[in-house]
Structure 1
Amino acid sequence: MVAGRVVRFDNARGYGFIAPDDGGEDVFLHVNDMLMPESQVRRGIVVEFEIEDGERGPKASSVRLARGEDGKPLSLDDDMMCDVLNTEEFTREVTEALLAAAPTLTAEQILQVRSGLAQFAKHHGWVEG
């Protein structure tokens, strides 16, 4: 079993993607491969799953809520959700972090790094909008 977080899920279409905790390519998730109610699937939820080779890349199967140390499935209240910032909040936080970590960066460099990070974050579902 592999653990990861759902980075996006479209309830209307019944599919989404999971980012494995150990890194690597996002894994395709389809509603037919879930061992849990579809109503529990949302961005940020921690799941466990098997990885299979799909026609277009890695595909999740036997998807279920992650289990806690006691072996029981975690509830939705057990820190399974992560904060998702909007683009404005994300860029503000990134700017502050860049200024604190590398105060000699120029404004142009900060704008370039911030833009690249925002695109990366949107691709992974870490930022809304």
Structure 2
Amino acid sequence: MLTLGKVLRFDEVKGYGFIAPKEGGDDVFMHANDLLDEKFLYQEGSEVEFFLQMGEKGPKASEIRLVYQPSSHRVTRGAEVDSAPTERQPVFLSDTDDDAFEAGPQDAARFRADLTEALLERADTLTAAQVREVRGIVVELAKSRRWIAS
């Protein structure tokens, strides 16, 4: 049965934790092998949906997926890049940019960071897995069109 709940605690290193079901009842065991998103995203208070099963030692969650909520794990512009943009790299427009797009390949890491930021800010219902899938498709397209360096 698909169930909603909140992560009570999750130890990324040990790979397990517990979920409090929204409907109440016993805490539900969660294991890293049952996570559908990156394990670092499962923080205390994260809303999740999961299939409730009875394990040998009590209730156990499987196919655990994050339910969207604003995240403190936002990628910030340039977070994956050590140096400032160089001349002739594309400038990606935001709501406040008035600059035009400049020609020339951009560093792939910077492009991924900009793309991730844009997806998280403008498509806030995407899951982490969906963001990764869309980002992978767009990055491959950008490489094939030589919009970014391979």
Can you list the C-alpha shifts for 1:14-53, whole angstroms capped at 9, x where unaligned? 0000000000000000000011110101100000000111
Identity %: 48
Whether contact under 8 Å (2:34, 2:64) holds in the other structure is yes
Describe the SS at the equivalent of 1:24. Answer: coil
Long gaps (5+) in structure 1 = 67-73, 79-129
Q: Does 1:17 align with 2:11?
A: no
Task: Determine which structure has more spread, i.e. the larger CA radius of gyration.
Answer: 2
Structure 1 residue aligned with 2:34 = 33
* TM, length-normalised to structure 2: 0.45
Describe the SS at the equivalent of 2:40. Answer: helix
Spell out structure 1 runs of 4+ moving beyond 4 A.
Answer: none
CA distance, structure 2, for counterparts of residue 27 and residue 64 of structure 1? 14
CA distance, structure 1, for counterparts of residue 24 and residue 51 of structure 2? 15
Describe the SS at the equivalent of 1:76. Answer: coil
Whether contact under 8 Å (2:9, 2:19) holds in the other structure is yes
Describe the SS at the equivalent of 1:39. Answer: helix
* Structure having greater relative contact order (Cα 8 Å, sep ≥ 6): 1
Kindly provide the amino acid, as one letter, of the partner of residue 51 in structure 1: L
* TM, length-normalised to structure 1: 0.52
CA distance, structure 2, for counterparts of residue 32 and residue 61 of structure 1? 9
Whether contact under 8 Å (2:47, 2:69) holds in the other structure is no
Kindly provide the amino acid, as one letter, of the partner of residue 71 in structure 2: D
Q: CA deviation at 1:57?
A: 0.2
Structure 2 residue aligned with 1:107 = none
Q: CA deviation at 1:76?
A: 3.5
Kindly provide the amino acid, as one letter, of the partner of residue 41 in structure 1: Y
More strand by share: 1
Kindly provide the amino acid, as one letter, of the partner of residue 33 in structure 2: N
CA distance, structure 2, for counterparts of residue 76 and residue 29 of structure 1? 22
More helix by share: 1
Alignment of 1:53-92 (within 5 A): 53-66=54-67, 74-77=68-71
Long gaps (5+) in structure 2 = 73-150
